[in-house]
Structure 1
Amino acid sequence: MTTDDLKLLDKFQEAAGGDEPDIETMRDLTHPDCTMTQPESLPYGGTLEGKSIWEEEFSAFAEEYEKFDFERRWMEQAGDWVAIYFDINGKVADGDEFDTSAVELFRVENDQIVEAEVFYKDTAKLIEAGL
């Protein structure tokens, strides 16, 4: 992992944020064989593969959440991985609001994201909110 990898993830996070994610930039930063794993307890949980994972993730979020705002608190490198900690404020579609946090782990090789894993602090809060 290099400083360039941290810059790549900064660019990726910038593309993912805001009202309209920049899916094309996210795809450009993603390896064709990339995998992303979300907690199985969530409706969109499981492992997605390929460059289309970001479209699939944001499509699932659009169905499940009325609002899903995140603010990055920190990003740290550890070997081949980068951990990013977020605070999340959201509202489940036809449900309640919730606040929680999450850690996303990213592995980068040859200037592309090859693996991502998401760990929510409290998936029960999402489920209790009506997910």
Structure 2
Amino acid sequence: MNYKERISALKSFKRAVSSGETTDSVSGISTEISDWSGYADTKFDDYVDTIQKDCKTLAGRKTEFLAAIDTIISNIQSQFDYEYSTYSYILSTTYNSKSASKNKSLKISAINNLWIDESVKAALKSHL
């Protein structure tokens, strides 16, 4: 999987995670139920309190997780940008001044011989 495919897959995964419901929709729930008292009332209070804490924790973890995905995407994009800028000199290099087609062919050959990601090679070739 090349850099661009990884970025696309991570963005798709992030969209799927983002669309999932993890909002804290129970924080305002009241535990007051008329005619309940004693152990049942305490047990229900504890249950609602646990659910409220879990919802709050999950919402926070989702935010952290999505931020981690953004960091990974940014790192991959940075690596792509670095490789592209490192080898973009090939685009302006003249290998054969007598023949434009031969010059282009030699540039393509030079790009193909690089040990870089295929998406970087494709981006370089698209600017020939």
> What TM-score comes out, normalization by structure 2 length?
0.22
Q: Which is richer in strand?
A: 1
Q: Which is richer in helix?
A: 2
Q: Which structure would you say has the larger Rg?
A: 2
> What TM-score comes out, normalization by structure 1 length?
0.21
Identify the structure with bigger relative contact order (alpha carbons < 8 Å, sequence gap 6+). 2
